[in-house]
Structure 1
């Protein structure tokens, strides 16, 4: 396993986390505000494997608001904290800048690296276009289980979002607004262009048939441009997440595409809106494993068994 990670904080801009043994910068967490039309929010990019291969995309020409790995809210009580055009049923995607909001950095409660782990603990506020505070988020990103010999590392992303309005917040997606199989919202990964057409795996299925299904994990493998080899990303729900709807909560469904681009989101509002009462908090915890090589289902299951929550 790796020793101490190296963390560099460029205040007002970004935090980078590197693995000293390989010299690879695992990711940059960028929290400076960007273009208003793209719904400014913090994001991770570039994210790299331990071999140094980049496994995220940034501002691709088809969706300039897709930025690495980030938390989004595509439909939030009529606001768009996703960026770009807004889906309106019966009219398609419309340019409605008055609906585009932001997720703003409010401060850090901790930024540190020690004992083979790195932690970024951040406070954010969520806003519609007019700047009103609609929600407050406590976010924790933890890097752990860095193993240069195996070519794997992992991060755990935890978000607790509290409604600060005097009325319910409605979290939805283009699918809840009427577009079929477009339930993207919540944690969202955009893969590099070379991952288009990559392999999608779940515990009991494979391929685009997994769109809109429920499962504790989903994996995406792609082949690199500019260098030989593949990489695999595994996205997993924490046990307390209602990923199967068995506990009477709000079930999570996978949004996943390999065409026309690579993307994965453990959507928190795929088919049905999630209503958050005033003062209530939505908590979700996810793990993202970044691995060199093309994994199969057995590789994923073996890793998750060896690295329990």
Structure 2
């Protein structure tokens, strides 16, 4: 039932994880720096289902800085580590290149294949446009639960971001800066253009009205161009994220759109800024279940519940 994977490293450019013997590349983790205007940062693209169907978009013409699945920071103490224009309250989106920063790859501590999966651990630094080190990140990306029987596999993304400034680091979003319903920041997925108008599901809700709401998981199903069929991606909070804030942690809310494009982010600063004191670390862990087919709520809940953290 569970498959094995292979890992290929093109040094200075990317790592690729593939299903052994199938020729299907599940993901490509690209860590080379790209265009400064797009806030250079590592990203995953393409991301594929077990049948080889691509479920991410790359540099779409509406937002060139949208690149597959990536960790972002749309508003960071006055800087933009998201890419492109910066939202300014009362003025809208402005071209302010002096505010566009970057997340830089510094090294890998582990690149391995074991137990039927793969693990990548990486050190990164976060920078404003002027280049100082504002934060250090320890990142872990794992591929696991490759399961031909269910037509699915899982990716777990962990990030621990430590403030290295001598003053608080303020993580926000366009909504924290005055634009309603635009709380995008954090781990962000951009779906293929064909996934527009896809189905959005959560344990107790459905549709675009889940924007800005809280839930343990959120799923997006879209239909492919070029080949028959659908795919479903399920984004899941780990238990320690305490995403409701009930245990004292900063609460998270879902950013999700199915028009004019497909996008999902478990935003860590949708309605309110998250403030990190000097030396303080923000730790978040998420799971992305990638599945062939249009899964319903019961099937999603069963598969999510069957995977341990």
TM-score by length of 1: 0.99
**Residues 184 and 265, structure 2, Cα contact 8 Å, conserved in 1:** yes
Describe the SS at the equivalent of 2:285.
Answer: strand
Q: Which digits, 9 at most, give the CA deviation of each residue in 1:201-234, with x for residues without a partner?
A: 0010000110000111000000000000000000
- Find the aligned partners of 2:46 and 2:298 in 1 and give their Cα distance: 28
Question: Which aligned pairs between 1:101-140 and structure 2 lie closer than 5 A?
Answer: 101-140=101-140
Deviation at 1:307, TM superposition (A): 1.2
Deviation at 1:23, TM superposition (A): 2.0
Deviation at 1:115, TM superposition (A): 2.1
**Root-mean-square deviation over aligned CA pairs:** 0.7
Describe the SS at the equivalent of 2:241.
Answer: coil
**Residues 235 and 286, structure 2, Cα contact 8 Å, conserved in 1:** yes
- Find the aligned partners of 1:10 and 1:160 in 2 and give their Cα distance: 25
Count of residue correspondences: 309
Match of residue 86 from structure 1: 86
TM-score by length of 2: 0.99
Deviation at 1:3, TM superposition (A): 3.8
The answer to whether 1:36 aligns with 2:36 is yes
Deviation at 1:200, TM superposition (A): 0.1
The answer to whether 1:216 aligns with 2:199 is no
Describe the SS at the equivalent of 1:74.
Answer: strand
The answer to whether 1:271 aligns with 2:282 is no
Unaligned runs of 5+ in 1: none
**Residues 22 and 148, structure 1, Cα contact 8 Å, conserved in 2:** no
Match of residue 234 from structure 2: 234
- Find the aligned partners of 2:245 and 2:170 in 1 and give their Cα distance: 19
Deviation at 1:304, TM superposition (A): 1.2
Match of residue 7 from structure 2: 7
Deviation at 1:150, TM superposition (A): 1.7
- Find the aligned partners of 2:226 and 2:248 in 1 and give their Cα distance: 47
Residues 142 and 92 of structure 1, relative CA distance in 2, 3 Å threshold: same
Deviation at 1:308, TM superposition (A): 2.6
Q: Which digits, 9 at most, give the CA deviation of each residue in 1:18-39, with x for residues without a partner?
A: 0014321001000000000000
Moved more, 147-156 or 9-18: 147-156
